[in-house]
Amino acid sequence: MRSRYMIVYGIGLLSIIVDQFTKWLTVQNIPLWSGFPVIPDFFNLVHVLNRGAAFGFLSSTESNWQIWLFSGAAVAACIAVHLMTRSAKANKILFIALGLILGGAVGNLIDRIRIGAVIDFLDFYYNNYHWPAFNVADICICIGAGLMLLTIKDIA
């Protein structure tokens, strides 16, 4: 039982540290609302603020209700991860997934509490099509959700 918590919270903590460190590097080295190409015509490092959810979802709304909605969702995700860790069958892939989701949710929650938005810095594009900028926390959440889907038959 203890090892499942060590997996979930260890991966969660590592995810938070990597996420916050990469955001700190972004803030220290790239002026807000600017960036530079890393791989021309494919990948930029940028410094943008996202008031919406992952990949800019609902970011164009002018009011601040998203801060409360997404902060509440992050807290709910943390509670759900804890409850699933307690009750889930022993499955290391599931616990890794839960740790990634927890770390991603907390990483973005820290930004929302500190500055009212999430710092995004990874910008992939092709020609004029830009995928919305994102960050390490978003990657952790997506990989965690994907791993969770792979274990869904074991959860049921």
Q: Which residues are catalytic?
A: 120, 138
Structure tokens at 79: 């509670």
- Residue the block writes with tokens 């009212």: 116
Question: Residue 143 CB: number of other CB atoms within 10 A?
Answer: 16
Q: What is the largest CA-CA distance in the chain?
A: 50
Cα gap 64→58, rounded to integer Å? 11
CB atoms within 10 A of CB 142: 16
**SS3 category, 41:** coil
The rounded distance, in Å, linking the Cα atoms of 51 and 141 is 17
Structure tokens at 155: 């959860």
